[in-house]
Amino acid sequence: MAQRIDGRQIAEDVVAQVKERATKLIADKNIQPGLAVIIVGVDPASQVYVASKSKKAKECGFKSVQHTLPADTSEADLLALIANLNADKSIHGILVQLPLPGHIDSGRVIQTIAPEKDVDGFHFVNVGKLVTGETETAFVPCTPAGSMILIERVRGKDLSGLTAVVVGRSNIVGKPMASLLLGANCTVTVAHSRTKDLPAVCRTADILVAAVGRPEMVKGDWVKPGATVIDVGINRISTPDGKTRLVGDVDFAEAEKVAGAITPVPGGVGPMTIALLMANTLVSAYLAAG
């Protein structure tokens, strides 16, 4: 049976470190890290994620501000709010929860966030730094950055020469994940819905990252024996007894019989995403402190 990667515990370790360093920044320089989280509309899943982010920021000793805007908020109003937060010295991180309502141009919104406050790592400046290997000064998107920590806990820091397959090519997870793995000298394949013989491609992976948003799509016989499996999916499905439960993009029961190590859902990647958001906000506050 595969080792279960305890994302909750590892995230707690990261958060404890962040808390300690935030306390030190406040004591030494009287600078309290500040995170502003913006949500537009009432998507239930987004509301849950945003509430957890705001709560964790408070736990870290940060200033935590949440802006909950109605679904019919105009793009101009949202851009004006971001401009205010860009200019606010007490705010070091700005996060706009995605997806946004259809009448708002997400790209324009993201590019309006000051790159030095873009703790999600979605601004072109941060994407460009990641792709060109300037990771020392880039904000790296939280889910892939958290996933890398989990991978390194299992395989050690040296991933050189390993074969990695990322299933999913989103800007939030798939593409930055591929950049990080490439930066760590893995041989990387990005697979997606048009990939031919996806099971065979997945079977080549020493490190398999699933980020497609399709419940339990990756089956046990897609997994190479001993592989490290990182399941980024969070899908709510109905069960025969009329209830619902959360599952990942990987069929956990099957895959854990084959993999060397695997993240559960929930309790795997999810907590790491929030922990890395705190870490990015702390770094931003330190950089602002000079």
Q: Is 169 annotated as a binding residue?
A: yes
Q: Does 140 bind ligand GUN (CB under 6 A)?
A: no
The DSSP code for 41 is S
Q: Is 207 annotated as a binding residue?
A: no
Report the site for ligand GUN in 155-174 (rule: CB under 6 A): 172
Q: Is 147 annotated as a binding residue?
A: no
Q: Does 120 bind ligand GUN (CB under 6 A)?
A: yes
Tell me how far apart the alpha carbons of residues 191 and 208 are, in angstroms, rounded to a whole number: 11
Q: Does 98 bind ligand GUN (CB under 6 A)?
A: yes
Question: At closest approach, how far in Å is the CB of 97 from ligand GUN?
Answer: 5
Element (H, E) at 179: helix 174-183
* Shorter beta-carbon distance to ligand GUN: residue 40 or 247: 40
Instruction: Show the tokens assigned to 201.
Output: 């491609």
Contact assessment for residue 180 and residue 140, using Cβ atoms and an 8 Å cutoff: yes
Binder among 95, 150, 167, 258 for ligand GUN (CB under 6 A): 95
Greatest C-alpha distance within the chain:
56
Radius of gyration of the chain (CA): 19
Contact assessment for residue 160 and residue 181, using Cβ atoms and an 8 Å cutoff: no
* Shorter beta-carbon distance to ligand GUN: residue 142 or 159: 142
Tell me how far apart the alpha carbons of residues 57 and 276 are, in angstroms, rounded to a whole number: 11
Q: Is 64 annotated as a binding residue?
A: no
User: Number of residues in contact with ligand GUN, rule: CB under 6 A?
Assistant: 9
Q: Is 251 one of the annotated active-site residues of the chain?
A: no
Q: Is 47 one of the annotated active-site residues of the chain?
A: no
Active-site annotation holder among 117, 118, 120, 206:
120
Binding mask 237-276 vs ligand GUN (x if CB under 6 A, - otherwise)? ------------------------------------x---
Instruction: Show the tokens assigned to 33.
Output: 């890290």
* Shorter beta-carbon distance to ligand GUN: residue 57 or 96: 96
Q: Return the closest-CA partner of residue 109 out of 49, 54, 101.
A: 101
223: left (phi over 0), alpha (psi -120 to 50) or beta: beta
Binder among 54, 112, 126, 143 for ligand GUN (CB under 6 A): 143
Residues 6 or more apart in contact with residue 78 via CB below 8 angstroms: 38, 40, 69, 96, 100, 104, 109
Q: Does 97 bind ligand GUN (CB under 6 A)?
A: yes
Neighbouring CB atoms inside 10 A of 222's CB total 25
Binding residues for NADP(+): 168-170, 234
Residues marked active site are found at 53, 97, 120
* Chain residues that interact with ligand GUN, rule: CB under 6 A: 95-98, 120, 142-143, 172, 273
